[in-house]
Structure 1
């Protein structure tokens, strides 16, 4: 048996708002469709590369890994069951939102399995990058889940912040240029002030070895929250 490990060759970056799931936004399916369509397209690109994924997302608590489990969006209003693999071994009652969305995307695009690494929102940049370096040889496909600032405009959660626009513009430029150095440079303190919980996941991506090129990227902020969607592929 070969000991050669497969290297990450494609990355999909997506947000993980509950509004992706139509059953959770029965009165606003049309308004949420652009975000949903962008995420599903990125996930489909990932599934075209591999049917087993590695994912990284952000959730409170110590770093941990989830695989082969099932859960539900019941805590977000509707009992929509999802699973991280075609043959889950158990149900987790409080599966974190990034894992739920990873499972939902997996099912929609026909991937067989996703293994989710969860990191805390305050994980220092150096530790994020170190995890990304370790994940480089973990498979062919990486799903990165994280939201941008939730302080955009009149629909901002809490209050609007004029720094939200420049912050997410910088993240969008970094993703569009596949610029890992720029992702490393994202300020964790500013990200926390702006409610950009995806910062740690993006900085894990910054540690995954390339070279990378961005196949496509998009930024949407229709509901006061910044949503980044991008697909990276290996190559100069």
Structure 2
């Protein structure tokens, strides 16, 4: 049973050590993420499932304590997905889950066991919904931390250059996440999302599947597009 959810962006720049001199530009986003995680803690879950996008060769589950790193971004910083160190055989976290692990460490999460779920960018809406239904199945009180960015095409200097479809897409996403509109999330256009370099589409649709029959309501905590990339923070409770 899903009892709460937090939606956060997953750029490595959210980590101040990675952002370096540009770190203050995302202070408001970091603060909003901390507030969203506070909603998760207040729900007193039995377990926390962290969902994030991954490349097609990276999907799968990650146990509590799985390792992550930002060394690929030139920063000597390692993280773990909560708890004690996982077995040496545990696969490294994809970047989205490493950012989630950093957020959880930053806020001192110790409220429930954690498990990670990396979702392939191209997973279709029906399979996303089925995955979410599976996450929330059973009597346990489940909270979800859902990572993902909106479009990367909001300005000329954005990673995907300027696309006039990006801002309307992001506005619709922010509205859906801010109001827990499951139908709108289910209906997101996967092909358009791919063209706009949206990393959050599949994780958001997993959340929509998990939230069916939950009765959760949403609150939009942050929406902006620094660096030409849409970032949204929302909390459902």
Fold similarity call, TM over 0.5: yes
Q: How many Å apart are 1:103 and its aligned residue?
A: 1.0
Whole-angstrom CA distance in 2 between matches of 1:46 and 1:143: 8
For residues 41-52 of structure 1, the aligned pairs below 5 Å read 41-50=35-44, 52=47
For residues 150-229 of structure 1, the aligned pairs below 5 Å read 150-208=152-210, 209=212, 210-229=214-233
Q: How many Å apart are 1:18 and its aligned residue?
A: 0.6
Whole-angstrom CA distance in 2 between matches of 1:230 and 1:32: 16
Contact 2:218 2:235 in 1 (8 A): yes
Corresponding residue for residue 25 of structure 2: 31
Contact 1:70 1:90 in 2 (8 A): no
Corresponding residue for residue 149 of structure 2: 147
Residue 144 of structure 1 aligns to a residue whose secondary structure is: strand
Residue 87 of structure 1 aligns to a residue whose secondary structure is: coil
Q: How many Å apart are 1:154 and its aligned residue?
A: 3.0
Corresponding residue for residue 66 of structure 1: 62
Whole-angstrom CA distance in 1 between matches of 2:230 and 2:184: 18
Corresponding residue for residue 53 of structure 1: 48
Q: Deviations over 1:168-192 (max 9, x none)?
A: 1111111122100000010000000
Corresponding residue for residue 134 of structure 1: 134
Q: How many Å apart are 1:93 and its aligned residue?
A: 7.3
Contact 1:102 1:114 in 2 (8 A): no
Of 95, 98, 101, which residue of structure 1 is paired with 2:99?
101
Q: Deviations over 1:189-234 (max 9, x none)?
A: 000000001100011111112212113432111210001110011x
Whole-angstrom CA distance in 2 between matches of 1:129 and 1:93: 25
Count of aligned pairs: 227
State the TM-score, normalized to the length of structure 1: 0.90
Whole-angstrom CA distance in 2 between matches of 1:76 and 1:66: 22
- The alignment status of 1:121 with 2:124, answered yes or no, reads no
Q: Which runs of 5+ in 2 are unaligned?
A: none
Contact 1:10 1:232 in 2 (8 A): yes
More moved, 205-214 vs 40-49:
40-49
Q: How many Å apart are 1:66 and its aligned residue?
A: 0.3
Q: How many Å apart are 1:100 and its aligned residue?
A: 0.4
More moved, 89-98 vs 21-30:
89-98
Q: How many Å apart are 1:62 and its aligned residue?
A: 5.7
More moved, 183-192 vs 73-82:
73-82
State the TM-score, normalized to the length of structure 2: 0.90
- The alignment status of 1:84 with 2:84, answered yes or no, reads no
Whole-angstrom CA distance in 2 between matches of 1:215 and 1:29: 25
